[in-house]
Structure 1
Amino acid sequence: MGPSARGLIMLPMTCLLLFGLTLSLASPGAKSETSSLSLQRHKRHWVWNSFYVQEERDPPYHFMKLHSNKSNIYTIYKIDGDGAGKIFTVDPSGDVYAQEKLDREKKSSYRLKARLIDTRTNQQVDNEEEFDINVSDLNDNNPVFLQDFKGSVVERSPKGTLVMTVTATDYDDPTTPNGNLEYKLLNGTDLFTIDEGGNIRTRIDYLDREKQSMYKISVQAKDMPGMNSGNINSTTVTINVLDINDNMAVFKKSIYSFNVKEDAKQNSKIGIMELEDRDEEQNKDPSFTVLEFPQVFMVVKNPMKDGLLTLMQELDYEKKDTYNFVIEVKESGIREPADNRHENLIKRAEVMINVIDIDEPPLFTEPIYNFSIKEHSPIKTLVGKVSAKDPDRANFAIQYHIDDQNCPIAIDPTTGVMTVAKDLDRELVDQLEFTVTAVEANPKGLKSQALVKVFVLDINDNNPQLTAEGMIFACEADPPGTIIGRVKATDRDEHKEVFTIRLAKPSYNFTLTDNKDNTANITVRHGDFNQDDPLYHLVVEVVDSGYPTRSSTTTIDIPVCSCDSNRKNYYCKAAPTASNASFHALIAIILCILTILVIVILFILRKRWQKKAAVILGKNGEIHEQLVSYDEEGGGEMDTNGYDVSILNSARNDGAVLPPPPGVYAAVNKPPAVRRDMATMIEVKKDEADHERDGGPYDTLHIYGYEGPESLVGSFSSLESRSDDASLDYDILNDWGPRFKTLAELYGIEPSENQYTY
């Protein structure tokens, strides 16, 4: 129904109300009250009521009039409150107008205040009074579904089961038919129903998820229920059918075949036997029964609720290579009757297992072998035998070897017989553990291993030992019968420790008492000891209980001491000739002394040699034989001159000039004073180089400007020279040796032929 139709419906009621209000306001002196309009006269002479105005009406329009019995030609009306001056205006005579289109859904009522003002004094003539303006509703809003609706119902639910509730919203006045709604299904009415509250229920009790698991239903909402007119809207709701266990699980095939290797381990998975069950996975609950060989095979459910065939024990191809058996499937908790009860169901399936042969490694008769043998048994004594065989039908020969190359046990590679290869000593190793490897004599060479334990048995091959329990000594005042000490017998052999302890030689001063617990007491026989005889010797024999018996003899030294009455504080005088050092200790001491003497002698000889070398160096003044001078006048010149230092050394020996060997430099004739200065200078430089901590190694002497007054060559500088070249005497060049011969020939007189000897 459009807005014009709705206006026609509401128009008679509105006109009736406005007509009654106008009559009341037009007759201010009327004393009667119209009960239908609920008009009354207030004490302050205002005539009020709640006024109604229609929503969605086009402005401006007049809809009410204010009236007070105190109004006159000098008074005007004014209003204040909700929307005053903007939505609602009043003229001086009290006519109220609506200036905007009103919407009840936004605001359904307005509260205002009316005042009567005297224009002459601008004062209120009467007290202000409140009144309400109510917006009457029109059916101008359609029903609205504010969400998507999804519901669910379990399959095979009873008729009338609530599925979901659908609700729509109408913003019109809910107290009027404009805001009341009714619902209707546009499809699916054969399966579902809906009531006036929007509740959707099942119409049948045989919904089947396996046939259809979801339904899309269109729902219509309409206002003004019971009338042909009104606003409508629709939405689509989703209804999911939930699954239950109402189908039996059955095998997809009647025969299943699997291949299993014979080396498959226990609890290994063989294969999957797929089931057919139209129910969802969470509602599947099959169980399986193996009718034959239940100790060998088992079927369990996998995560997909199919049958998982599992191996319960290992297979042996050589014993049985095929298995045929039947497996049955059942399912509990099914909602009866099952939907698939009339179908051809496979509840039993035949299973065929083919065992696949593989080449297996050798198999030992025992995983661990235990043997025993006496220590010190002769070489090649039999220890035991290990045995392995090829479990396959080929039955290849087996070769044996011990992995540990240092093992004292040897094994025959063909028979597996083990014998003693090295001497066994129980006191060193009482148990041997090693691994024996068996290898098939075929190209693959498959291997397996076994652990062998050999226990070394004890024989009586160690002499008993005697030890003292604490210090044994005799006091000068010990009376006869005093126990002065105890000795204990031990043995490294493994047998019952029963020893006999006795004196090997009779003793005048002491007796030995066997306590029968592997200990013996030493007792004073005759007292009155004297420190003049500070040491006594007691020879004791110990005999064990082994077979054959073994014994040992021990000498116990008993010193004589000065003691107090309690034998706690004592002083023992050392024996003057006693020596406890063994032969090997003495040899070691002598070797140490000889080594120290040799080191001292070598040190003294080295010191003497150093002193002698220092004297020789002091005489010779040089430790190397050549001086190299570098012409450093130019930045890039590489001129060098080498001089034989031996000439300097020879020049210091009484002035005698020794000629150098052929091919070396000629000797230089220098005055003795110059020779002494040169030697002294070299020694000084050497001493400075030896004691200079911060300087580098002084391997080459660089001497510059050595041209003092005693120099043979004098000075080459021309700064102090006032003579010309003609006045110079160059004969001295002949004294400088063959290296200056050419220079002497140019500037001086040639030397005689026999002056130099080459």
Structure 2
Amino acid sequence: MERPTHRIKMKCFVFMAVLSFHLCLGDLRYSISEERRRGSTLGKIAQDLGMDTKTLSSRKPRVDFEGTKRYCDINHQTGELVVNERIDREALCGQKQSCAIHFDFFLENPLELHRVTLEIQDINDNAPKFKNEAIDIEIRESAIKGARFSLDEAYDPDLGTNSVHSYTLSNNEHFILSPKGADRGRLPEIVLENELDREKQDRLSLILTAYDGGSPQRTGSVVVNIRVLDANDNVPVFTQPVYEVSLHENVPVETVVFRVSASDADEGPNGEVTYEFSYLSIDSENLFTIDQKTGEIKVKGDIDFEESSSFELRIRAKDGAGQATSCTVLINVVDVNDNAPVIIIKSLNTPVRENLPSGSEIGIIYVQDKDSTSNGDIKCSIEQQVPLKLVPSVKNHFALVTTTELDRERQAEYNISLTATDGGAPPLFSSKTFHLSVADVNDNAPIFEKQLYSAHVAENNKPGSSVLSVTAKDTDWRQNGTVVYSLLSSDVNDAPVSSFLSINGDTGVIHSVRSFDYEQLKSFKLLVLARDNGSPPLSSNVTVSVFITDENDNAPQILYPSPDGNSFMTEMVPKAALAGSLVSKVIAVDADSGQNAWLTYHIIKASDPGLLTIGVHSGEIRTQRDLSESDSMKQNLIVSVRDNGQPSLSATCAMYLLVSDNLAEVPELKDMSHDESSTKLTFYLIIALVSVSTFFLTFIIIILAVRFCRRRKPRLLFDGAVAIPSAYLPPNYAEVEGAGTLRSTYNYDAYLTTGSRTSDFKFVRSYNEGTLTADLTLKKPQSAVDDLEGLDADMSDSLQPDLTGIRNHFMR
């Protein structure tokens, strides 16, 4: 096995400073002999490039020939170039002195390109061969000693010493081989040594043997038949020994290439010259013909500069007697721009990652043009406006480089059209379109359709019902664009948000976990997280505000009088009360809010329907007319309190009124809750006694309380005031301080729920035009009256601002 000549001329071209990898281009040259057996090693290319054979296979090495034949291949395991097809130097290069095969050696991951030249060395694999099986010569018997006669030369397609080197002639008594004619490059000549005698011998047969200079030496022989004739004194003579002409490729058949001319001084048949090819290769024989009489050389096949750029024709001129001479016609083929460029994509990384840095190389484009000189000068460009460009590289190679970062979300694929133009006149061009896909990278986080979501949920909702749906979109592809929803951990009223709401991870629909109560929780916020399935995953979150809307699920609650019917208190109404006088007031609250807490008061049953009326919004019970002596002393009312919800809820209470100026006037006071038809007088007397005692004790307690509160927190008590016993105050209600109104009117305490500060409950203005005057109030001891008047005078200045604010509040 021959050792390759390791002459590696590395030339690294850096296309851009920001390239993430470089395409290193270098020339490798190996010299091998032709006719190597298939599978034999040509060279250790991996070792010559300094590569590790363990990683060679992963880099996908390959060799790329321009033609259809693959003369060699790469062994992925050993990194050696091996023979893949028979290499015949004569078939590849003919008679050219230098013969080489050029091919490209590619590596991927990262991309590398190396130009490899394989020089083919000639071996002596061809023997000399004569054109004809016999050479016929006619020599006149008058030929003198020393006369020379040219014979056909032998042809050997090998070069140098392997071609025809010498000739020998078989032993005979008349002819010897001329030493000069036996030299390489000359026609063999025989020299007459002893004169001929046609009468003794008119025919001779000699063996001419041609030898090459190879080792082992090869030979070829031909029979020389000599016919002895009369004298032929002259041989044909060409005008010049070598002719050189130019011929354009693609000329039509029958085009005259050249006309050779030879003359013979003899007369008659001895001076008639005919022409023929001395020897032609198979290719030349199919392309040219010669006219035997005129010497015109014509084209009979297609002349292609790319197949062969020159031809050497050996022409022999022979006279009628067989004397011959030869000349050489050198034909130089002129290139014509008859080949359009061919675009070959030698390497293309597709799909391309979208976040690949600008200036990254993603492919190698090769443009092939068989023409030469300026006809083979190539320009290649991209037709569209795409983020790619072509960077010229080693001969007719272009690197496909990105100009910006690709974005799959803006454009996921490209149809790229390349155009290659040569430098001929007129120029030829060709186009090629290829498809480039952009691979997705998880570079986009999910984005919610709204910056803030809000949902309104009615209280008492059914657990598991849908609250709202959030939607986030991710412009990435496949799993990078698949969005999964979840709730971020947080607390609502010291409870995890997951105990209130849940979310469908695929659809983003939020469901309630429990039933909400507006009176306990009016609103809360939570964070929804949207995460994609990329690696690493990207996410974003959005705030969702949930508002609980009130439902009319709470009936009004009556604070005064007690709705449970256990109260035996009665309201005293003076007999002299005029129409519009305030008698009493029903106080009620509703735990709902808004219109669900707007209360209206209605008398649904009364002992005397025309005597008393109630304020629809205030709950104040007033007289409709002046009291008369005929009116019953005992008046019973049933009051209904309704809210404004849909549907409306209500509560009822019983109100007992006693028309009298003094308890002493009512000795027969009885419990109004019992039937008046009772006949047990003793029972009535006991009830009357208990009532009088209770009223007296209550009055004394009120007087003491007023004096006690003077130094602490005075409260204005006017005639006709309605006192609410603490026993009627529900445990979950709080007293609202400062319920006093304007002077000479009335005073009462209002009780609201602990959460009513944020409700929509409004106090209704109280009209005081018809309130009872001071002289029509219930009779009290004079000392108590004096105390009240003094207290009123002392507190008027200090409480005036508070009363003004309260008045304005009621006015609203």
TM-score (norm 2): 0.28
**Larger radius of gyration between Structure 1 and Structure 2:** 1
TM-score (norm 1): 0.30
Greater relative contact order (CA < 8 Å, ≥ 6 in sequence): 2
